[in-house]
């Protein structure tokens, strides 16, 4: 009797597939292993270390990036540092080592952190948005409008609907086709770091390219100095004595020469973006350049270089929204239902859900067992 009453009044049990019927079978089943959210993540990302590390599926260029940094730095430490320590100062390998460690740490931070992925809409949320898009209730023949307009700092910003994530993308959000996720403040997908660059890892990316520029320029300067000093300090008159080492130095000089200009150029470009609070995506698309003749300004810019830099690089780190290490609620429910189901604790929840907070109906539902029990025996 009691079970029957609660099944009738508990919409939670009807709408949520996680609560099993009360036939006692679930109790006999082996308890399931709680699953984390990254195990069923819908995007094309890879997860390692139980969801602590997230990378794009196509992250094959990342080992090449690491290899190039390791090889260039290794050649420098092997062929240049001993000579420069002997003839110049012992600070050179210390500075080079510190820069190298910093570059590798920022690279790994960029590659292995959540760039700002937005979780996809749940079926209920997607259905609600669909209803909002087409409130006529007849969406079978007419495609819904794909844009919404919002005003940010007196500037009209269009929000596009993402058919994969089933939601209107927030401002500055784009869907990365390689990772199959909507990423907040999407800058670009960088194959060199094997990850999207977005709201949560842009500061690491910027620090990486700036520190890499400094490291490359430092190695270039040291190699040039080595080459210049080696001719002055060589006591041997035989030209063949340092021929082999000179070849290595010259190779390193050529690598650094090309790396310095490309990396310095990239750092300069991103410094301009940081100072103007722009993303690479917005700059390439010309979102705020007024190409179409309209008078548009970047609504996200604080009109001050210093504030723009502080906002983008020193602001508080936004939390990850995908909660990839969190447990799936389904498994939580199964576990809870399988271990201890306390009907009296379910009842008040179901009353609140069923009546939407109406005290009269809640009172009736609460006293339903007593009404049923006592009504057949009127005195
Ligand atoms: Zn999307
Ligand atoms: Zn991506």
29-51: average pLDDT: 75
* Average pLDDT over all residues of the chain: 74
What's the confidence (pLDDT) of residue 13? 39
Q: Nearest ligand, CA of residue 194?
A: 2
pLDDT digits (tens, 9 = 90+) for 139-197: 555 565 677 888 888 888 888 888 888 888 999 999 999 989 999 999 999 999 999 99
3-state secondary structure at position 174: strand
Same domain, 107 and 72: yes
User: What is the Å distance from ligand 2's center to 205 Cα?
Assistant: 14
Same domain, 153 and 277: no
Q: Specify the DSSP element, H or E, that contains 189.
A: strand 188-190
Q: What are the residues whose beta carbon lies below 5 Å from ligand 1 (ion)?
A: 162, 164-165, 175, 182
User: What is the Å distance from ligand 1's center to 109 Cα?
Assistant: 24
Same domain, 58 and 99: yes
Q: Nearest ligand, CA of residue 190?
A: 2
Same domain, 209 and 292: yes
Same domain, 58 and 136: no
Res. 111: pLDDT tops 50: yes
Same domain, 257 and 296: yes
Higher pLDDT pick, 360 / 169: 169
User: What is the Å distance from ligand 2's center to 163 Cα?
Assistant: 17
The separation between CA 4 and the C-alpha centre of its own chain, rounded to angstroms, equals: 47
In percent, the amount of the chain with pLDDT more than 90 equals 26
Q: Nearest ligand, CA of residue 115?
A: 2
Which of 132-136, 308-312, 314-318 shows the lowest mean pLDDT across its residues?
132-136
Same domain, 91 and 134: no
Higher pLDDT pick, 80 / 146: 80
- The answer to whether position 5 is within a domain reads no
Q: What total of structural domains would you count in the chain?
A: 3
Same domain, 148 and 297: no
User: What is the Å distance from ligand 2's center to 18 Cα?
Assistant: 33
pLDDT digits (tens, 9 = 90+) for 230-240: 766 655 555 55
Q: Nearest ligand, CA of residue 196?
A: 2
Kindly list the catalytic residues.
Answer: 190
Same domain, 277 and 179: no
Same domain, 275 and 149: no
Pick from 206, 341, 338: nearest CA to 275: 206
Same domain, 281 and 260: yes
The pTM assigned to this predicted structure is 0.72
CB neighbours (10 Å) of residue 132? 11
What's the confidence (pLDDT) of residue 135? 63
The separation between CA 76 and the C-alpha centre of its own chain, rounded to angstroms, equals: 34
In percent, the amount of the chain with pLDDT more than 70 equals 68
User: What is the Å distance from ligand 2's center to 143 Cα?
Assistant: 28
Helices (H) and strands (E) in the chain, counts: 15, 10
Alpha carbon separation from 258 to 120, 127, 220, 250, 255 (Å, rounded): 42, 53, 10, 13, 6
- The answer to whether position 331 is within a domain reads no
User: What is the Å distance from ligand 1's center to 183 Cα?
Assistant: 8
Q: What are the residues whose beta carbon lies below 5 Å from ligand 2 (ion)?
A: 176, 178-179, 189, 196
- The answer to whether position 174 is within a domain reads yes
Q: Tell me the residue range of the domain where 127 lies.
A: 123-183
And the tokens for 68?
A: 């190039």
Res. 259: pLDDT tops 70: yes
CA dihedral 66, 70, 71, 74 (to 10 degrees): 180
What's the confidence (pLDDT) of residue 246? 64
What's the confidence (pLDDT) of residue 379? 30
Same domain, 212 and 140: no
Spatial contact of 255 and 79, defined as CB atoms under 8 Å apart: no
| Non-local CB neighbours of 219 within 8 Å, separated by 6+ positions | 72, 73, 76, 80, 96, 252, 256
């Amino acid at each position: 009797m009691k079970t029957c009453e609660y099944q009738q009044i508990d919409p939670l049990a009807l709408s949520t597939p996680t609560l099993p019927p009360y036939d006692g079978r679930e109790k006999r089943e082996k308890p399931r292993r709680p699953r984390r959210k990254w195990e069923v993540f819908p995007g094309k990302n890879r997860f390692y270390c139980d969801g602590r590390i997230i990378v794009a599926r196509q992250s094959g260029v990342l080992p090449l990036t690491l290899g190039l940094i390791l090889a260039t730095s290794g050649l420098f430490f092997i062929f240049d540092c001993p000579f420069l320590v002997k003839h110049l100062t012992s600070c050179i390998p210390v500075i080079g080592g510190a820069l190298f460690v910093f570059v590798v740490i920022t690279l790994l931070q960029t590659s292995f952190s959540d760039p700002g992925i937005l979780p996809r809409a749940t079926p209920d949320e997607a259905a609600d948005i669909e209803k909002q898009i087409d409130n006529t209730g007849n969406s079978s023949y007419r495609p819904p409008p794909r844009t919404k307009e919002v005003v940010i700092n007196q500037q009209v910003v269009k929000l596009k609907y993402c058919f994969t994530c089933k939601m209107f993308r927030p401002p500055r959000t784009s869907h990365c086709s390689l990772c199959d996720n909507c990423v907040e403040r999407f800058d670009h997908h960088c194959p060199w770091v094997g990850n999207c660059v977005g709201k949560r890892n842009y500061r690491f990316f910027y620090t990486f390219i700036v520190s890499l520029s400094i490291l490359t320029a430092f190695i270039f300067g040291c190699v040039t100095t080595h080459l210049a000093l080696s001719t002055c300090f060589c006591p041997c008159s035989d030209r063949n004595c340092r021929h082999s080492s000179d070849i290595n130095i010259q190779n390193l000089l050529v690598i650094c020469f090309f790396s310095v200009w490309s990396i310095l150029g990239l750092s300069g470009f991103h410094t301009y973006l940081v100072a103007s609070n722009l993303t690479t995506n917005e700059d390439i698309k010309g979102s705020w350049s007024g190409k179409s003749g309209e008078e548009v300004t970047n609504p996200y810019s604080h009109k001050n270089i210093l504030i723009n830099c502080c906002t983008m690089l020193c602001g508080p780190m936004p939390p990850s929204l995908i909660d990839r290490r969190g447990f799936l609620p389904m498994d939580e429910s199964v576990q809870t239902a399988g271990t201890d189901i306390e009907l009296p604790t379910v009842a008040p929840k179901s009353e609140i859900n069923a009546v939407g907070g109406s005290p009269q109906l809640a009172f009736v539902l609460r006293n339903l067992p007593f009404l049923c029990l006592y009504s057949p025996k009127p005195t």
